[in-house]
Amino acid sequence: MRRQWFIWMIVLCFFCSLFPNEAKAMSVSAKSAILMEQTTGRVLFEKDAHTKRRIASITKIMTAILAIESGKWEELVTVSERAVRTEGSSIYLKQGEKIELKHLVYGLMLRSGNDAAVAIAEHVGGSVEGFVFLMNEKAAEIGMTNTQFANPHGLDDAENHYSTAYDMALLMRYAMHNEQFREVSGTKLYRAPNPTEDWDRVWRNKNKLLTHLYEYCTGGKTGYTKRAKRTLVTTASKDGLELIAVTINAGDDWNDHIAMYEHGFAHYELVKIKADTIVKDIDDPFYDHHLFVARDFIYPVTKKEESLIRLERKLLRPQERWKETGVPSVVGRAELYIGNEKVDDAPIFYKQEKKKRSFFDWLLGVGSDG
C-alpha cells in the first residue's frame, strides 16, 4: 500500500511539472513586488503588494510629476542653502545659483539628486513643508490609500514616510499619462547648463534596465537607503502592451523586473472588445436603434481567458414620466466580464431625437446655430 502511494505521488509530481501554475512559476527577491498593466491598471502579478514599507528615492516620482504639473517648467529656481546641504545623492547645485525647473526635474529623475528635490519643493510648494502637503493631497487624489509622504526625496529622516508596491504602481500609472513625464523618465542622457563653469552638466540615467539591460524598458526611477534597501519602479512596452513593475526591498531588483516583464509579455495580450455589439438588435422597441456606447473595451487577458470574455447589458426600465422630462442621456451600463468577474463597464447612451424645425422655427431662427 505504501509503495502504491509513493508511485502515485511520483506520477502526480510529474504531471504538475508539465502544467505549472503560472503565478507560482515566477519568484522575485523583493519583499514586495507588483506587475501592473498601464492602460487598465490590471494587476498581473503581485507579492505582498499592500504592505507599507520605506520607499527611498522612488518618492521622487511624485516630486517630478508635481513639478511638471505646476506649470513652472521653464521658471528659474534660486537654489537655497537648505537644498545644497541635503545629504545623500546630489547633482551638486551651488547656493544662490539660478537654474530652470526643468533641469532640476531631469537631475532629480536621472541622477536622483536630493538637492534638486528640495530646490523643486521650495519653488513649487513655497517650502518643503508646503510641498509635502501637495504630495499627500495628490496621493489621496490618485487613490494611494496606504501612502504617507514626509519629504520630497525619500531619505530615512522621517518615520512617517512610506508606501506600498501597489500604491507606487498607481502613482507611476498616473504619471505616465503625462507626456512630459514620459519623456523625462525615458531619457538616457541629459545635458544641463552650468552657469558657473565652462562645461555643461551631463547626467546619465541610473536606471540600468533603460540604458542597457532590457530593450523594452521605457523609463523608471531607482532608489536606495540603508533602511529601505533597494527600491525600483520601471515601465516597459512590447507589442502594444505597456507594463509597470515595482519592487521594494529587493536583493536582485534588475532581474526581478526582467522576470516580471517576461512573464507579462509571455502570458498576456491586449484584446479589443466592440462594446456597441451589446446594444444592437434589442427586442424593446423603445430602445431599439436608439442606444450607443462611446468607447470599446480594451483589456489584457491570457489565452485561456479569451474564451471567458462576455458582455452584459443593464438598462433602465422606460418610465412614463420621460414623455414629459425627456429620456435621460445615460440609460444603462455595458459590462465586461471574464468568467464571473466584472472587470470593466461603460455607460450606455440614448440617442436623443432631433426635433424637426417648422417654417416658423426657421423664420424666427429657433434651433439655429448661426
Q: 32, 57, 89, 163: which is the annotated catalytic residue?
A: 57
Catalytic residue at 229? no
Catalytic residue at 17? no
Based on its alpha-carbon atoms, the radius of gyration of the chain, rounded to whole angstroms, reads: 27
Beta carbons of 260 and 245 less than 8 angstroms apart: yes
| Burial of 368 per CB tally in 10 Å (0-12, 13-18, 19+) | exposed
The C-alpha atoms of residue 261 and residue 44 are separated, in whole angstroms, by 10
The C-alpha atoms of residue 20 and residue 35 are separated, in whole angstroms, by 19
Helices (H), the chain: 2-18, 60-69, 81-84, 101-111, 114-125, 128-142, 165-175, 179-185, 208, 253-267, 303-306, 322-325, 359-364
Q: 32, 112, 163, 185: which is the annotated catalytic residue?
A: 112
Lateral strand order in the sheet of 43-47: 43-47, 32-37, 241-248, 229-238, 217-225
Q: 60, 206, 221, 229: which is the annotated catalytic residue?
A: 60
Catalytic residue at 112? yes
The catalytic residues are 57, 60, 112
